[in-house]
Chains A and B, each alone.
Chain A
Amino acid sequence: MSEKSGLFDSEMIRAQFPTLSLTMSDKPLVYLDSAATSQKPVRVIEALEAYYRESNSNVHRGIYELSRRATEAYEKSRNRMAQFIGATSPQEIIWTKGTTEGINLVANSWGMNNLSANDEILLTTMEHHSNIVPWQLVAERTGATIRYMEMDEQGRLNLDNLEELCGERTKIVACTQVSNSLGTINPLEQIIARARVVGALVLIDGAQAVPHQPVNVAELDCDFYVFSGHKMCGPTGIGVLWGRKKHLDSMPPYQAGGEMIKVVQKHQSTWADLPHKFEAGTPNIAGAIVLATAVDFLEEVGFDAIKRHEDQLIGYALKRLRKVNNLRIFGPTNPDLRSSVISFQLGDIHALDVSTILDAEGIAIRVGHHCAQLAMEHLGVSVTARASFYLYNNYDDVDRLAEGLESVNRIFTP
């Protein structure tokens, strides 16, 4: 089935992603693991090659033309990121390896210097491990306490006790915008408003949000925002940490080395200005430059169109999957509160068995705890199967998934 809605032609979109025409186990690939990493459009793949063919050299070092070319593209992409997420200045855009490094940077550089024994860090039980474990390490070293916003049975944050949880001891709230394991879209406005009242900083994990919806950090009114390039049609190994300049200015370097210094003396050194203070060593130059290509691609398709397509697709998927016997779908029942992730359990069949059989049908889904063991514990399961959708998925993919699950049922039902 081919579908068109407005200017969105899903067949034309698909044609731009070479991996989507691969066959797996002799069957056309159905890729339903975009929450782990997205596939890449031809433009991104070609831009990577073009960089290595035409611009490759180190940035901020050589005075020769080739290096100027790389540096210019690298900084131009930083400007593009600032514009993309509504940052006041490109100085607030720090290149990272990805979301995980962004959170580790804040936890270490800000956390180690601003937290002490009476302070509290407020997280949610739906966080990805990368937004829990860095804080645990900091809590261990500073004596700060970690508290959690809990979920209800549909995987929505329970904010009834937000005022009690987020009080004068709370120094930072670190929260995901969209849950990677359940697809829940969180009410950030309410959480951030409360943090403002008590003077706590707010870090938002945007890894699962930025690929799907327009984000504006000024409107969000948070202090730090982190995301990864590879989940939004960009290359692996590149991501962005956005932070308010006043915080970034006050924070010490996270890693030390080349590029992040002004002057190095025998016993002390001075730091480079933002953003380079946080970018020690040769960065992922190609990744940074090509992330701008990925953003161009997504904005040309249009986030409104992407969102409309994904909403329709998820609506159809929820309807179609409910017809599969014994399928338990986790997460919010209200589609407005749900991004394009569907976590499920098929009867008492182990999720790994489900994915093994789907794999033989050419269908790629994720199985496991999705690096969200606290969320799994809440659901009373150790693992789930997860299908995640993106702009290039279509109704056929949903049908193939549903048919695959029906054949799993047949194999495991004696």
Chain B
Amino acid sequence: MTSILSLHQQLILDHYRNPRNKTPLAHYDLQGTATNPLCGDEVTLQLNLEGETISKIGFEGKGCSISQAAASMLSTHLSGKTLKEAVLFVTRFRTMMDPSTEELDATLMGNLVAFQGVQKFPLKIRCVLVFYEAFQDAIKDRDQQWK
């Protein structure tokens, strides 16, 4: 049985209380926004690019601990990746959160594996994915080249 502890591991609480990259960028190349109307989660993220590489990432947001911790943790993974690598990474994350996904090589996901338990709570999956959706929104006009 999933308990409070598996959902609210220290890691998630730490990122909620001390979010990384939660500073909007004054100048940015790409920006995206997403909301989760169910619990009012909001994330707006901004990316700076050097060539095709994400050189800096910043976000603003509000919402429950899961949505904001997921944003903070995902942001740390995307910084330094090329857009192509970042898309691959968030897609894998999206797959991990899909309730129909039973097995996935969790070692590829690093600390984001902390969110795997949320998979069992369909209403909260959307909280975890707000940042993912904001990222998709940010790259929507450049998305074609990776499809």
A interface list, Cβ under 8 A from B: 25-26, 350-353, 356-357, 360-361, 367-369, 382-383, 407, 411-412, 414
| CB-based nearest B residue for A350 | B64
Q: Using C-beta atoms within 8 Å of the partner chain, give the interface range for chain B.
A: 10 to 19
Q: Which B residues are CB-close (under 8 A) to A361?
A: 4
Q: Which B residues are CB-close (under 8 A) to A382?
A: 40
Q: Which A residues are CB-close (under 8 A) to B38?
A: 368
Docked pose: A369 CA to B35 CA in angstroms: 15
Q: Is A411 touching B39 in the complex (CB atoms < 8 A)?
A: no
B interface list, Cβ under 8 A from A: 1-4, 7-8, 13, 17, 38-40, 63-66, 121, 124, 127
Q: Which B residues are CB-close (under 8 A) to A352?
A: 39, 63-64, 66, 124, 127
Q: Provide a sorted-by-A list of 25 A–B residue pairs whose CB atoms are within 8 angstroms.
A: A25-B3, A350-B64, A351-B64, A352-B64, A353-B8, A353-B64, A353-B65, A353-B66, A356-B4, A356-B64, A356-B66, A356-B124, A357-B4, A360-B2, A360-B3, A360-B4, A360-B7, A361-B4, A367-B39, A368-B39, A369-B40, A382-B40, A411-B4, A411-B8, A412-B13
The 10 A-B pairs at the shortest CB distance, nearest first, are namely: A382-B40, A350-B64, A352-B64, A352-B39, A360-B4, A353-B65, A353-B64, A383-B40, A357-B4, A360-B3
Instruction: Given A25-B1, A368-B38, A414-B17, verify A350-B7 contact (CB < 8 Å).
Output: no
Q: Is A411 touching B13 in the complex (CB atoms < 8 A)?
A: yes
| CB-based nearest A residue for B6 | A360
Docked pose: A243 CA to B27 CA in angstroms: 61
Q: Is B8 touching A26 in the complex (CB atoms < 8 A)?
A: no
Q: Is A350 touching B8 in the complex (CB atoms < 8 A)?
A: no
Count chain B CB atoms within 10 A of each CB in A356, A357, A367 and give the residue with the most: A356
Q: Which A residues are CB-close (under 8 A) to B121?
A: 356
Q: How far is the CB of A330 from chain B (nearest CB, A)?
A: 16
Q: Which A residues are CB-close (under 8 A) to B64?
A: 350-353, 356
Docked pose: A117 CA to B8 CA in angstroms: 54
Q: Which B residues are CB-close (under 8 A) to A411?
A: 4, 8, 13
Docked pose: A353 CA to B127 CA in angstroms: 11
| CB-based nearest B residue for A408 | B4
Q: Which B residues are CB-close (under 8 A) to A414?
A: 17
Besides A350-B39, A407-B4, 17 other A-B contacts (C-beta < 8 A):
A351-B39, A352-B66, A352-B127, A356-B66, A356-B124, A357-B4, A360-B3, A360-B4, A367-B39, A368-B38, A368-B39, A369-B40, A382-B40, A383-B40, A411-B8, A412-B13, A414-B17
Docked pose: A383 CA to B2 CA in angstroms: 25
Q: How far is the CB of A251 from chain B (nearest CB, A)?
A: 34
Docked pose: A158 CA to B124 CA in angstroms: 37
Docked pose: A293 CA to B103 CA in angstroms: 49
Q: How far is the CB of B63 from chain A (nearest CB, A)?
A: 6
Q: How far is the CB of A263 from chain B (nearest CB, A)?
A: 47
Docked pose: A26 CA to B7 CA in angstroms: 16
Q: Which A residues are CB-close (under 8 A) to B63?
A: 350, 352
Q: How far is the CB of B62 from chain A (nearest CB, A)?
A: 8
| CB-based nearest A residue for B18 | A414
Docked pose: A361 CA to B5 CA in angstroms: 12
Q: How far is the CB of A357 from chain B (nearest CB, A)?
A: 5
Q: Which A residues are CB-close (under 8 A) to B1?
A: 25-26
Docked pose: A369 CA to B4 CA in angstroms: 24
Docked pose: A367 CA to B127 CA in angstroms: 14
Q: How far is the CB of B19 from chain A (nearest CB, A)?
A: 14
Docked pose: A407 CA to B17 CA in angstroms: 18
The listed residue (B8, B17, B40, B124) touching A357 by CB distance below 8 A is B8
Q: Is B65 touching A350 in the complex (CB atoms < 8 A)?
A: yes
Docked pose: A368 CA to B7 CA in angstroms: 20
Docked pose: A369 CA to B2 CA in angstroms: 27
Docked pose: A412 CA to B12 CA in angstroms: 11
Docked pose: A191 CA to B33 CA in angstroms: 43
| CB-based nearest A residue for B17 | A414
Q: Which B residues are CB-close (under 8 A) to A351?
A: 39, 64
| CB-based nearest B residue for A27 | B1
Docked pose: A369 CA to B65 CA in angstroms: 18
Q: How far is the CB of B40 from chain A (nearest CB, A)?
A: 4
Q: Which A residues are CB-close (under 8 A) to B66?
A: 352-353, 356
Docked pose: A262 CA to B93 CA in angstroms: 60
Q: How far is the CB of B4 from chain A (nearest CB, A)?
A: 4
